[in-house]
Homo-oligomer: A and B are copies of this chain.
Amino acid sequence: MNIEGIKNIITKGGLKFTHQRMVIYNAIAEAKNHPTAEHVFEQIKSDNPSISLGTVYKTLDTFVTAGIIQKFVDNKGVMRFDGILEAHSHLYCKKTNEISDYKNAELEALLTKFFDKNQIEDFDIDEISIVIKGQKL
């Protein structure tokens, strides 16, 4: 993604555009896996030697609050960040600990239909996600 595109996303989230936010957002957008704060830090450190790990944590959190990225917790309890905003499920490989995306419109439709019909008592659903654990072959 180009600088203008990133700037747009950040400012549309109601945030000031800064160099640090630019490189951090860029790292998330380019990552194919689901990076941790540490991953992002390692990724950008060589080109931005003065950046601080604390800033990475704080900025990622700011992005989550602004709704321009998502976060979730992995099996080990570590925060993972994700530039994809649409709902999608995750595959956890027990062998390699990799996390990959799984997206299937039919499944989403199935779940939506199911929970429309079967409301949960005294509970207002915001989002549903599926966690699939297994092994890569």
What residues make up the interface of A, taking CB atoms closer than 8 Å to B? 73-79, 91, 93-94, 102, 104, 106-107, 110, 114, 118, 120, 122-137
Contacts and interface: CB of A to CB of B under 8 A. Distances in A.
Contacts of A79: 77
Contact of A123 (B73, B91, B127): B91
How many of these chains are in the complex?
2
Contacts of A131: 128-131
Given A73-B76, A107-B118, A128-B130, 12 more contacts: A73-B73, A77-B77, A77-B78, A91-B123, A94-B126, A106-B114, A120-B132, A123-B136, A125-B134, A126-B133, A130-B130, A131-B131
Describe A's contact surface by its main secondary structure.
strand
A135 B120 CA distance: 11
Given A73-B75, A110-B110, A114-B110, A127 B120 contact: no
